[in-house]
Amino acid sequence: MSAAAELDLPEQTAAERVRSLLAQAVSLSLTTHGQDYDLIGMHSVGRNGQITLHPQADTPLVAQVATAPRGSLAALLEFTDIAPTALRDRVRARVTISGWLAPAGDSEALRLDLARVTLRTATGTYEVGLDEYALAQADPLAVEEAAMLTHLADAHDDMVTDLLLRSGSSLPYGVQRTLPLAVDRHGLTLRCEYREGHCDLRLLFPATARNAVEAGEQVRRLLTMPPPSPRCGHRPRRWSSLRG
């Protein structure tokens, strides 16, 4: 699927979703010629999306790059987006980024010159153009999303229930449990679990949130406004298409 076939608006675009995932990711998997690495806290992302790795100087990865033909090494980065709340089928998205690793200036850092960026979600696979990726920005709630969702689930389950009740008529019958799945500047997504399968219910904020405080205000507004027009992302299903 082309990156032009973006997620239904108002949503993050595929490029914004990738940049948001990179902004909040702590670890990544790296594959080079015959080598696999799990890197934890060893990468940074520049303003234009430039990915830089910061391995220790004496690691095999640095040696691989140093001895690579023409000074660059083919590499594949993989990021998995896991929901922070304890819901069913927690994988929300996967990102793969291929390119070439090369020394980043005079430091021991390694830069990744991008060749391809792919986002995979439950709704499909999106090839993100490199220019789109470079120009996109992470969602303003990306870094704080995990803390916001776990706080909502642990301390305000009554609010989650109230949000569901206000939209219950639009859902298939038989919801057994509901937990917050995701939040971005446009809205909140709830996962409604059934005996078999689940349905994701998206509630759009009355106004765009620019930070966590405003997002909290928008959730409270949802509880006091007339019922919105929620959108169920898909019918209940038995398994996640992102599993494995």
Range of the domain at 107: 14-135
Q: Is residue 223 part of a domain?
A: yes
pLDDT value of residue 37 = 96
Domain boundary among 100, 135, 170: 135
Residues 198 and 114 in one domain: no
Q: Is residue 151 part of a domain?
A: yes
Q: DSSP class of residue 129?
A: P
List pLDDT tens digits, range 129-177.
Answer: 999 999 999 999 999 999 999 999 999 999 999 998 887 566 778 889 9
Residues 102 and 19 in one domain: yes
Residues 22 and 101 in one domain: yes
Domain boundary among 88, 111, 135: 135
List pLDDT tens digits, range 91-133.
Answer: 999 999 999 999 998 778 999 999 999 999 998 999 999 999 9
For residues 192 and 201, the answer to whether their CB atoms sit within 8 Å is yes
Residues 87 and 159 in one domain: no
State pTM to two decimals: 0.87
Residues 114 and 27 in one domain: yes
